[in-house]
């Protein structure tokens, strides 16, 4: 019987395998895709996530592939004026023990995959789709369907679902909670920085706020590319979540043109620099209500499987990495049953992730505000500056 089976070979599953492997715990990692592909775009790793990753020995590899922004500049999308500035880089390093890092999702996945392979304590099974789960007092029995059509059964002490927002384990064991469409779309593109005007080749991370939209941009891949994300509210909410939702060129053009009507010329110029956009339909769930939402008996969820959130705190990957670290710490408690290890994990995490989920939803309203709310937001940043923009409650834990 295996120690732990992990459902999902994405960032959460790999982070969990890596964290457990640090203490010599073996895992079996099952991924439904027959091969890993370069999906997604850039993501941000706050100091809370990067500290843990550095502790697992992948800090230097991440620094080589990622980028450390000098500061965060918040701009008014309509006027082009700066609303506030948050020093990062050395300031975050000194304050939180790690900087803020921007990185392409595929690069982060590769770094974690390489580290897990180097440990040699996790076996990866590609092309395996979870079909059924039965847990009792002695073990968890799972049934898998391979990409070749073969049915395989396994038994393990515990089963951890890190299989994303469309989690199959969640569907089987936590069927009551429904995904909620936000009505927001994220359009993502990558631009080679050496081809951009000098104004767009700086070392800062940019955040532009406007009515029913915001734009974020930052360097990735060692600074060679600029990741640009335009997040807009539309009248046609998606039916299902997805990193690459089917969106026609006409729909994309309509959404971007409608969202940027009234934006300053500089921001409109940035959006016009790319003709190739990938659409991401944004979904989440109600914030986690209790520890039972994350662990029941020998089963547990982490990352987006447990607490999908809107990307308005840039903490989706960060919370999965935190989950992985906490789960590993709880698993290593000697003399306890599986349930007595997984329940403390859920108890330690559920209030933290619920707060981040709720704050991400609140940021969606604040970032896209108009009228009095936008006026108050802008005044707060102009007068409060870095003190208002920093988040010690998030980055310091």
pLDDT greater than 70 at residue 272: yes
215 vs 242, residue with greater confidence: 215
Q: Does residue 122 fall inside a structural domain? A: yes
Q: Tell me, what's the pLDDT at 61? A: 97
Residue 248's SS3 state is coil
Integer angstrom CA distances of residue 34 from 125, 128, 132, 196, 390: 9, 8, 19, 37, 41
Alpha carbon 168 to its chain centroid, in Å, reads: 19
What is the pLDDT confidence band of residue 41, given thresholds at 50, 70 and 90?
Answer: confident
- Specify if 147 maps to a domain: yes
The model's pLDDT over 114-155, given as tens digits with 9 standing for 90+, comes to: 999 999 999 999 999 999 999 998 999 999 999 999 999 999
Which is more confident, 348 or 23?
A: 348
Q: What does the alpha-carbon distance between residue 15 and residue 249 come to, in Å, rounded to a whole number?
A: 36
Q: Please check the confidence at residue 38 and state whether its pLDDT lies above 70.
A: no
Longest Cα separation, the chain? 64
Q: pLDDT tens digit string along 247-256?
A: 778 888 888 8
Does residue 211 have a pLDDT over 70? yes
Q: Does position 242 have pLDDT exceeding 90, yes or no?
A: no
Distance of CA 38 to the CA centre of its chain: 15
Which pLDDT score, from 0 to 100, does residue 310 have? 96
Rounded percentage of the chain residues whose pLDDT exceeds 90: 84
Rounded to two decimals, what is the model's pTM? Answer: 0.96
Percent of the chain at pLDDT above 70?
Answer: 97
Q: Is residue 69 part of a domain?
A: no
Q: 23 near 7, Cβ under 8 Å?
A: no
Inform me whether the pLDDT recorded for 334 exceeds 90.
no
Q: Measure the CA–CA gap between 145 and 131, rounded to whole angstroms.
A: 7
Residue 48 lies in a domain: no
Tracing tokens 């989920």 back to the chain, one arrives at 357
Return the H-helix or E-strand segment holding 16: helix 11-21
Supply the pLDDT for residue 93.
Answer: 96
- What's the mean pLDDT in 345-354? 98
User: Which tokens sit at 389?
Assistant: 């923009």
Select the more confidently predicted residue: 54 or 178: 54
Q: What is the tens place of the pLDDT at every residue in 193-204?
A: 999 999 999 999
Number of separate domains in the chain: 1
Instruction: For residue 140, tell me if it sits in a domain.
Output: yes
Place of tokens 């008014």: 76
- Mean pLDDT, all residues of the chain: 94
Residue 60 belongs to a domain:
no
Q: What range defines the domain where residue 349 resides?
A: 2-39+106-179+288-363
State the CATH number of the domain containing residue 160. Answer: 3.50.50.60
Q: Average of pLDDT values for 15-41?
A: 89
Asked if the structure places residue 191 within a domain, the reply is: no
Is the pLDDT reported for residue 2 higher than 90? no
pLDDT at position 244 is 67
Tell me what pLDDT residue 34 has: 86
pLDDT of residue 255: 87
Residue 351 lies in a domain: yes
Asked if 299 and 158 touch (Cβ cutoff 8 Å), the reply is: yes
d(C-alpha 224, C-alpha 191), whole Å: 9
Kindly tell me if the per-residue pLDDT of 374 is higher than 80. yes
């Amino acid at each position: 019987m295996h120690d732990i089976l992990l459902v999902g070979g994405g960032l959460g599953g790999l982070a969990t395998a890596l964290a457990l492997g640090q203490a010599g715990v073996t895992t079996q990692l099952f991924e439904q895709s027959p091969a890993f592909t370069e999906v997604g775009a850039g993501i941000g790793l706050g100091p809370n996530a990067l500290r843990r990753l550095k502790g697992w020995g992948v800090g230097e590899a991440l620094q080589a592939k990622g980028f450390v922004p000098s500061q965060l500049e918040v701009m008014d999308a309509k006027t082009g004026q700066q609303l506030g500035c948050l020093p990062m880089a050395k300031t975050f390093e000194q304050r939180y023990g790690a900087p803020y890092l921007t990185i392409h999702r595929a690069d982060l996945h590769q770094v974690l995959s390489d580290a897990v392979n180097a440990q040699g304590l996790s076996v990866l099974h590609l092309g395996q789709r979870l079909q059924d789960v039965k847990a009792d007092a002695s073990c968890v029995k799972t049934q898998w369907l391979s990409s070749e059509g073969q049915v395989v059964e396994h038994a393990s002490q515990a089963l951890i679902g890190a299989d994303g927002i469309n989690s199959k384990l969640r569907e089987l064991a936590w069927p009551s909670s429904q995904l909620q469409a936000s009505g927001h779309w994220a359009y993502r593109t990558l631009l080679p920085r050496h081809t951009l005007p000098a104004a767009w080749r700086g070392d800062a991370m940019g955040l532009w706020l406007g009515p029913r939209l915001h734009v974020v941009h930052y360097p990735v891949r060692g600074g060679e590319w600029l990741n640009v994300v335009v997040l807009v509210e539309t009248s046609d909410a998606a039916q299902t979540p997805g990193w690459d939702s089917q969106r026609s060129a006409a729909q994309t053009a309509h959404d971007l043109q409608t969202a940027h009507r009234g934006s300053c010329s500089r921001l409109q110029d940035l959006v016009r620099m790319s003709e190739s956009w990938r659409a991401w339909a944004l979904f989440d769930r109600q914030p986690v209500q209790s520890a039972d939402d994350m662990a029941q008996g020998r089963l547990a969820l982490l990352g987006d499987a447990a607490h999908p959130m809107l990307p308005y705190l840039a903490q989706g990957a960060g919370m999965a990495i935190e989950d992985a670290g906490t789960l590993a710490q709880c698993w290593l408690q000697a003399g306890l049953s599986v349930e007595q290890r997984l329940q403390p994990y859920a108890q330690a995490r559920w209030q933290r992730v619920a707060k981040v989920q709720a704050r991400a939803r609140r940021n969606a309203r604040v970032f896209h505000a108009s009228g009095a709310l936008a006026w108050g937001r802008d005044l707060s940043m102009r007068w409060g500056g870095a003190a208002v923009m920093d988040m010690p409650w998030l980055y310091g834990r």
